[in-house]
Structure 1
Amino acid sequence: MSNYRNLIGFILITHRNNLQLNRLINKLNSMFNYPLIVCHHDFSKCDLSVDKLPKNVLLVRPHLQTEWAGFSVVEATGKALKLMYEVADAPDWFVLLSGADYPIKTARQILDDLTSNPYDVYIQYEQITYKTYKQDLKPNMLWQKNSYQRYCTKSFSFHYFKNLEISLDHPLLTKPFLPFSKKLACFSGSQWFCANRKAANYIIDFHSQKNALTLYYSKIKYADESYFQTVLANAPHLKLKNDRRRYIDWSASGCHPKTLLMEDLPNLLASSAHFARKFDIDIDINILNELDKITS
């Protein structure tokens, strides 16, 4: 078995289902020969048997109490990244995963793809603009309107006037309140991405500065779907591929993607993605068993 430890590592942001988390860790270990895995686990939501974890798994200590769509998820990711790249033999690449993710390609396919292309980052990112916000978009692009509403507007509440609320959306009116400018555009996309050491060091350095952008995102919801995209897409020295290399099915609508089942296997195999989400071992374990055979 090849030694992949210095080539790739994994950051896990987890808060539930220890059985599935342990299965994912064991799978990554068998595929990549015990790579560096840094896990931020929210112990306030679910306990974890630390003494049973393999020695290649490092835990972020102390953990943060994470909140769905909160900046705490960004902070947890930042802490995990910092811990990973403080290690002497830190990997050339890292992949950000949740406990509900699972590989759908072999280790060789994943590494060949990452190392044979000129990109520093694989991430979904779209620029969020006022022009797009005002356009009539197709249903599958409405998330861009939502992103503008989340990140590029400013609301004021006046409780003394029967809970009157005023919302500003034009850039000329919001400029004094937002960190964005012609030199710093707002971007949004999926929070799951992978990147190389160059990009990792840039994120760690940028995040440690506690600048205006970081301060702004620390006060708003859904920061995990815009913060890293904005940081990376505004870095001229980094080459980004607008592809997160992740299979996610949003056909179920709502705030969460479809739970993947055996019926989804053909689509998974036809995808160019490296990993897929989300899986639930309590709903369909057979899909994971089948993926184990395919990726071994």
Structure 2
Amino acid sequence: MTILKHLYILITGGPYKTLFFKRKNITGLEYNFGSSWWTLTHSCVEWMLDYLERHEEVLDFFDNSICPDESLFQSLFMKTPYTNTRENIKVYLDWTGENRHPKTLTINDYDTLMNSDFLIARKFDEKIDGEIINKLESKLKMK
């Protein structure tokens, strides 16, 4: 089913463009794209949920997108009254990984993480290095 959905989306418009057709924007939102790793205030999330409740066509539209997590909330955020309250993201990413993906963090990155002011870090893989995950979990339990 996933392959068919992606094929349908590719042919009929992706988030906004396609191989064959231009997809009509029925959402009233300007398209914005970005990372799905970010933080939002409670009031901003409430605004977004209220907007989506009143505009069901937005969810229907983005349901037929390949990466809605990298466009739906970014597009919504730019419509909120909080647009001008942006701050630098508090996500630790090491872009020295391969294939344009963040590096998988290991125990060698522990001190860097602990001495930073980041709230979120990515990415981890217990098959590559479970020690850093265990050490971070232990540190969190101590708080």
CA drift of 1:292 comes to: 4.6
Query: Residue in 2 aligned with 1:248?
Result: 93
Is 2:71 the counterpart of 1:226? yes
Paired residues in the alignment total: 131
State the distance in 2 between where 1:214 and 1:289 align: 37
Query: Residue in 2 aligned with 1:177?
Result: 24
State the distance in 2 between where 1:152 and 1:236 align: 24
State the distance in 1 between where 2:137 and 2:89 align: 22
Change in 2 beyond 3 A, CA 1:153/1:199 = same
Is 2:22 the counterpart of 1:155? no
Q: Larger % of helix: which?
A: 2
User: After TM superposition, which residue ranges in structure 1, 4 or more long, deviate above 6 angstroms?
Assistant: none
Is 2:37 the counterpart of 1:192? yes
- Output the TM-score relative to the length of structure 2: 0.69
Percent of paired sites with the same residue: 25
The answer as to whether partners of 2:14 and 2:64 remain within 8 angstroms in 1 is no
Q: Which stretch shifts more, 184-193 or 207-216?
A: 207-216
Higher-Rg structure is: 1
Q: Which stretch shifts more, 203-212 or 184-193?
A: 203-212
- Output the TM-score relative to the length of structure 1: 0.37
CA drift of 1:276 comes to: 0.9
CA drift of 1:237 comes to: 4.8
Is 2:81 the counterpart of 1:236? yes
Q: Name the amino acid aligned to 1:285.
A: G
Change in 2 beyond 3 A, CA 1:256/1:286 = same
Q: Larger % of strand: which?
A: 1
**Once the two structures are superposed, what CA deviation does each residue of 1:112-157 show, in whole Å capped at 9, x if it has no partner?**
xxxxxxxxxxxxxxxxxxxxxxxxxxxxxxxxxxxxx95332432x
The answer as to whether partners of 1:251 and 1:257 remain within 8 angstroms in 2 is yes
Q: Name the amino acid aligned to 1:153.
A: K
SS at match of 1:285: helix
Among 190, 205, 212, the alignment partner of 2:50 is: 205
Change in 2 beyond 3 A, CA 1:222/1:196 = same
Is 2:127 the counterpart of 1:282? yes
CA drift of 1:219 comes to: 0.9
The answer as to whether partners of 1:189 and 1:229 remain within 8 angstroms in 2 is yes
The answer as to whether partners of 1:247 and 1:277 remain within 8 angstroms in 2 is yes
**Once the two structures are superposed, what CA deviation does each residue of 1:62-110 show, in whole Å capped at 9, x if it has no partner?**
xxxxx7xx9xxxxxxxxxxxxxxxxxxxxxxxxxxxxxxxxxxxxxxxx
Which structure is higher in RCO with an 8 Å CA cutoff and minimum separation 6? 1
CA drift of 1:212 comes to: 3.5
CA drift of 1:274 comes to: 0.8
CA drift of 1:239 comes to: 4.9
CA drift of 1:257 comes to: 3.1
Instruction: Write the mapping of 1:15-164 to structure 2, written as runs, cut at 5 A.
Output: 151-156=15-20
CA drift of 1:289 comes to: 3.9
